[in-house]
């Protein structure tokens, strides 16, 4: 059962945030080779712009730099400093592009002429594999060359695929909708038709805001959430190669979405139905370990897309507002796990990731 604890909140005033994001107009654009020196990479909108872009920024909000003028990220940069992103051309066609942050060079990988609908492109950690959904009935994988492998699946809408830490496999959710029974499939990164493991979930996810994600931080385990009934959610811990070790963690009354496991594999964090972050020890001991509340958002606010820092000391997330349907209207914030103080980085953000060192 979840236990509330006092939360100390420290916020920058909105005027500072406004000035920080305004500074992106003075930052180098995609043709400037000096770009890419930030600690965080994110999708957002520059002031007075209708098109989303991809930016980097320092932890203190300085050095805000626009890398890509028109693009949306759905996965972090790879270890070799490549990103893949969805973009819309002047002819209104969707396409996927790859951008190398160090070389300041980008390449068009695929466009709407090949696949009529392009959703959620992601890149593997080693930078060698790219995957996306074509509509909600086809999984597409490739290495960025002319050849792409495809396979038909009943892909669940509003879900994002994820590569394994070793980049050899890809996991995604199947299902008619998030509320329907779900199935986790694990396929080869080279062959989307070769299922190497699967997990049936007899329930769906009720009340999900934004896209649902799986956590595959550690090679041996995939973590996911689902709704048992109105007052009970489960966090599923699936040991892929030894299902007998798998277990569930109860989350009573609060709801549970988008779990994230700490880099040292000792803590797990979920988002509740009111939009707050909760943490507990990452252990099968479900009797003596309670959940602790990390954040306390306002009635009009909720948190999406949490991501652990590599040292496990902080979590990056987007705070959205219920009265604003624009998915690029969020605040990019960081919470320190020990002090539980939060810091506003910038606004007009969709989602962000820690940049690889």
Tell whether domain 78-201 is in CATH 2.130.10.120.
Answer: yes
Please name the residues in contact with 86: beta carbons below 8 A apart, sequence gap of 6 or more.
71, 72, 74, 94, 95, 96, 118, 119, 120, 121
Give 68-101 as a DSSP string.
ESS-EESSPPPTTSEEEEEEE-TTS-EEEEEEET
Q: Residue 275: CA atoms inside 13 Å, Cβ hemisphere, count? A: 17
Q: Is the pTM for the entire model greater than 0.85?
A: yes
CB atoms within 10 A of CB 285: 10
Going by C-alpha positions, the residue among 269, 337, 252, 261 that lies closest to residue 303 is 269
Provide the residue-wise pLDDT of the chain in tens; the chain has 357 residues: 454 444 443 333 333 343 344 333 333 332 233 445 679 999 999 877 888 999 999 998 899 999 998 999 999 999 999 999 999 876 677 899 999 999 988 888 887 778 888 999 999 999 999 999 998 799 999 998 888 999 999 999 999 999 999 999 999 999 999 999 999 999 999 999 999 999 999 999 999 999 999 999 999 999 999 999 989 999 999 999 999 999 999 998 889 999 999 999 999 999 999 999 999 999 888 666 789 999 999 999 999 999 999 999 999 999 999 999 999 999 999 999 999 999 999 999 999 999 875
Indicate the domain borders of the chain.
Answer: 78-201
What is the rounded distance in angstroms from the CA atom of residue 76 to the CA atom of residue 20?
23
């Amino acid at each position: 059962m979840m236990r509330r604890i006092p939360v100390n909140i420290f916020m920058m005033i909105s005027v500072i945030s406004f000035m920080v994001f305004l500074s992106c107009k003075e930052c180098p654009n995609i043709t400037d080779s000096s770009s890419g020196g930030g600690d965080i990479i994110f999708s957002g909108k520059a002031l007075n712009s209708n098109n989303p872009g991809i930016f980097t920024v320092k932890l203190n909000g300085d050095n805000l730099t626009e890398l890509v003028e028109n693009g949306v990220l759905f996965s972090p940069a790879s270890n070799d400093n490549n990103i893949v992103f969805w973009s819309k051309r002047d002819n209104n066609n969707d396409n996927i592009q790859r951008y190398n942050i160090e070389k300041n060079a980008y390449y068009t990988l695929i466009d709407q002429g090949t696949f009529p609908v392009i959703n959620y492109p992601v890149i593997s950690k080693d930078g060698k594999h790219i995957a996306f959904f074509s509509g909600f009935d086809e999984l597409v994988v490739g290495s960025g060359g002319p050849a792409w492998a495809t396979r038909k699946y009943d892909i669940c809408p509003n879900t994002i695929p994820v590569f394994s830490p070793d980049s050899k496999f890809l996991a995604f959710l199947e299902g008619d909708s998030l509320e329907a029974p779900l199935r986790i499939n694990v396929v080869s990164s080279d062959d989307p038709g070769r299922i190497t493991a699967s997990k049936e979930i007899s329930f769906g996810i009720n009340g999900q805001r934004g896209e649902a994600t799986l956590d595959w931080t550690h090679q041996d385990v995939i973590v996911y959430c689902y709704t048992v009934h109105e007052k009970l959610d489960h966090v599923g811990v699936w040991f892929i190669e030894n299902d007998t070790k798998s277990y569930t963690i109860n989350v009573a009354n609060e709801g549970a979405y988008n779990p994230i496991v700490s880099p040292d594999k000792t803590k797990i964090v979920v988002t509740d139905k009111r939009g707050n972050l909760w943490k507990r020890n990452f252990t099968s001991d479900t009797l003596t370990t309670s959940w602790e509340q990390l954040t306390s958002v306002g009635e009009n606010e909720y948190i999406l897309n949490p991501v652990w820092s590599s040292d496990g000391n902080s979590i990056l997330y987007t705070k959205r507002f219920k009265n604003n349907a624009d998915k690029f209207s969020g605040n990019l914030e960081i919470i320190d796990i020990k002090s539980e103080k939060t810091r506003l980085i910038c606004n007009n953000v969709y989602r962000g990731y820690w940049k690889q060192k």
